[in-house]
Amino acid sequence: MNYSYTFFVLSTAVFLCLGCHPTQMEVGPIIIKEELTGNGSKKWKLKAKSVNGQLKETNPCEMDDIEIFAADKSYLKQVNGVQCYENESNFEGYWSMHDDRLLVTASNNIYYDLKEYKIIEITENLLVLELEGMNEKITISYSPI
């Protein structure tokens, strides 16, 4: 009888403890948003890019750009110094999250851009995104500035 009561109490305690913790899905988006935007907004700079697992030489015009994600879900890609094409200007838009996906919608005076990235890793000091399409898997790493 003593063993039954002890087993019941322990089982109930384990069940309640496991049931009380929030799941990763409940906590995940909040943590991702905090890491992505910092205290209001956070600036990220391209660190490396690979295509299908092979490190790719990155165009200098991409290496000096800064991407800014703000807590109000606004997005800005600042074109700095070296332009990738004539009359290139900043991209402005917004971002959103859905599960492990980061959606970025932005435009400038020439192009409209909508990208859906898979979030591979995000910490205070590293952002790794993956973009798939046209038989390519592009992995992009950023560091904060």
Q: pLDDT digits over 79-110, tens only?
A: 998 998 888 899 999 999 988 899 999 998 77
Give CATH for domain 2-144. Answer: 2.40.128.280
pLDDT value for 94: 96
Burial string for 74-100 (b: 16+ CB within 10 Å, else e) reads ebbbebeeeeeeeebebbebebeeeee
| pTM for the model | 0.76
- Per-residue pLDDT band at 2 (split at 50, 70, 90): low
Residues 6+ apart with CB under 8 A from 81: 64
pLDDT tens-digit readout, 26-64: 345 667 889 999 989 999 999 999 999 999 998 999 999
> Is the per-residue pLDDT at 19 higher than 80?
no
- The whole-number pLDDT of residue 133 equals 86
**Residue 21: is its pLDDT beyond 80?**
no
142 CB burial (10 A radius; 0-12, 13-18, 19+): buried
